[in-house]
Copies of this chain bind each other. A is one copy, B any other.
Amino acid sequence: MKLNERGLLIVLSGPSGVGKGTVRKALFDLEGHDLVYSTSMTTRPRREGEVEGVDYYFVSREEFEQRIRDDAFLEWAEFVGHYYGTPRDKVDEQLKQGKEVVLEIEVQGALQVREKAKDGVFIFIAPPNREALYRRLLRRGTESGDTIQKRMDKAEREFPLAHKYDYIVVNDEVTNAADRVLAIIRAEHARTERAIHKYKELLGVDENE
């Protein structure tokens, strides 16, 4: 029995090249969970084959900017002329349905989310060492040396931010890392601050005791 029935907002983050996406995919492949992936909102035009509400929520610039003014995003950014953001209300709806909403996001975005979603679970995916990260960045092969150097510099600035997260999971072996993330999700549901309300209800213990 799960004492906390509300879903958890799981923020998977870490420097680029650490393999956040691979860990997320392996996590979704595991059994025994009710995970969903958070859908972003964007002002970029819909491409052929993209489905509204699945790939993105597509909105106009005006609507997006109104939502920024309404503080309706967990995080947002502008990227080559288009806005991208995580709509608070959509995430909240899924959490209420008991789904664990997974946000895979860069370090700066994650720290933005932390400000607005205090009860989220923030997981920093770390490389087992510097070389592993560098090798991953180089292996992509499609980027110029300059771009790779920039990513390495960015990673260096992000490494010391791990202490702002709740958990640090090493991506040495992707299924190990995914298993550990799933264990974190299971454990977090049992944390006293999340479980105490239902517990008191079950046992009829007075809220004010």
Interface residues of A (CB under 8 A from B): 1, 3, 123-124, 126-130, 159-160, 162-163, 165-170, 172-173, 176, 179-180, 182-184, 186-188, 190-192, 195-196, 199, 202-206, 209
Contacts and interface: CB of A to CB of B under 8 A. Distances in A.
Nearest to A193: B163
Given A180-B186, A184-B190, A190-B180, A162 B202 contact: no
A1 B203 CA distance: 39
B1 A162 contact: no
B205 A159 contact: yes
Number of copies of chain A assembled together: 2
Nearest to A164: B192
Contacts of A172: 1
Nearest to A206: B160
A203 B3 CA distance: 38
Contact of A168 (B169, B176, B180, B195): B195
